[in-house]
Amino acid sequence: MNRRLLIVSASQLAATLLPATAAAGIRSTASSNGEQFPIDYGDVLKLKPRFRRTEVKYATAEVPGSIVVDPGAKYLYFILNGWTAIRYGIGVGREGFEWNGEATVRRKAKWPRWTPPKEMVARDPLAAKWADSMPGGPDNPLGARALYLYQGSVDTLYRIHGTNQPDSIGKAVSSGCVRLINADIADLYERVKIGAKVVVLPAPPPETPSAESVQEKPQNQEKLQKKRRYLFDFL
pLDDT at residue 25 in the model:
37
Q: How many distinct structural domains can be found in the chain?
A: 1
Residue 28 counted as domain residue:
no
Report the chain (235 residues): mean pLDDT per 10 consecutive residues: 39 45 41 78 96 97 97 96 95 68 96 79 72 80 95 93 94 83 97 97 69 48 44 48
Which range marks the domain in which residue 153 is found? 34-233
Residue 21 counted as domain residue:
no
pLDDT at residue 125 in the model:
76
| CB half-sphere exposure, 221, CA atoms < 13 A | 6
Residue 25 counted as domain residue:
no
The side-by-side arrangement of strands in the sheet containing 197-200 is 54-57, 84-89, 75-79, 67-70, 197-200, 101-110, 145-151, 154-163, 178-181
Residue 60 counted as domain residue:
yes
126-132 LR contacts (CB < 8 Å, sep 24+): 126/229, 126/231, 126/234, 127/231, 127/234, 130/231
Residue 8 counted as domain residue:
no
Residue 203 counted as domain residue:
yes
Residue 123 counted as domain residue:
yes
pTM of the full structure: 0.76
Residue 174 counted as domain residue:
yes
Respond yes or no: is residue 177 known to be catalytic.
yes
Catalytic residue, candidates 106, 159, 161, 179:
161
**CATH code at 41?**
2.40.440.10
Respond yes or no: is residue 203 known to be catalytic.
no
Provide Rg for the chain, Cα atoms: 19
Q: Tell me the C-alpha distance between 69 and 212, whole Å.
A: 32
Catalytic residue, candidates 68, 105, 177, 200:
177
pLDDT at residue 127 in the model:
72
